[in-house]
Chains A and B, each alone.
Chain A
Amino acid sequence: MKFNNFMILEFPSKSCNEAFARSAVACFAAQMDPTLEELGDIRTAVSEAVTNCIVHAYPNELGLITVRCRILKDNVLDVVVKDKGIGIADIEQAKRPMFTTGGTDRSGMGFTIMESFMTSFELTSAPGKGTTVHMRRKIQRRK
């Protein structure tokens, strides 16, 4: 077995689930003995990924969001946030800081934050099929 532990969450794209998703992932990650800063970074990145699904993937309907977390060897948290929504036509444009197709209540900083707060970040998307965000965060072992 390549991983030590895992969990899978599935929930509808309601905005009240943003807090649920980031808290659930943080609770799961707690067994890796992260610092408060590491935990805060993970919570923030998950919040961004899930919010994107709610705002952009399913703009006019409720759809399913799946969050899968695994603990890999060397104390690495692996997080996948997946939707089956409308997808992203231009990934480079979507990732650009300050770019948003959302309203004035969006900042266009979601991907920038995910990229800078996680050790690795990968975005795959197909228009009409959905989007997958794959992030990893190494949790430093404390002496």
Chain B
Amino acid sequence: MQFTSFLENGNLTVALTGEIDHHCAKHYIQSIAGKIEAYTPEVCILDFQEVTFVDSSGIAVVINALRCMSQIEGKLVLTGICAQPMRVFRASGIDKLVEIKEAV
């Protein structure tokens, strides 16, 4: 449970790692909210490239980040999502609420 983040041209990228479940979701939700509040980026990119597993707690992480970004009228983008997390996001319909980009 750790992540790195960086700011580039007013865009905040948060790179998540490992498995996102209920055990660590609260930590991610609060940390991401803190970063968004501190930097008020135009775009927040959640990078899932190093995320090997998510359950419905991962959906809560995305929804909370989306809420934070809409409060500051910014945009949320997800990127680098592997097969298992993608199945969870599709099953929940979150892929229709948030822009999903292929990894660069």
Contact = CB atoms under 8 A, between A and B. Distances in A.
A58 interface: no
Contacts, number: 78
A40 B88 CA distance: 10
Contacts of A37: 83-84, 87
B55 interface: yes
Contacts of A18: 21-23
A interface, size bucket: 20 to 34
A48 B19 contact: no
A134 to B, nearest CB: 19
Central interface residue in A22, A41, A106, by most chain B CB within 10 Å: A106
B57 A105 contact: yes
Contacts of B64: 104-105
Interface stretch (A63-71, A107-115, A120-128): A107-115
A15 B22 contact: yes
A15 B22 CA distance: 7
Given A47-B55, A106-B60, A113-B55, A40 B87 contact: yes
Interface string A30-73: 00000011001101100110010011000000000000000000
Given A43-B53, A43-B84, A105-B25, 9 more contacts: A36-B84, A41-B87, A51-B57, A104-B29, A104-B60, A109-B91, A112-B92, A113-B56, A117-B91
20 contacts: A15-B21, A15-B23, A18-B22, A19-B19, A47-B53, A48-B56, A51-B21, A51-B22, A54-B22, A55-B22, A104-B29, A105-B26, A105-B29, A106-B22, A106-B56, A106-B60, A107-B59, A110-B56, A113-B91, A113-B92
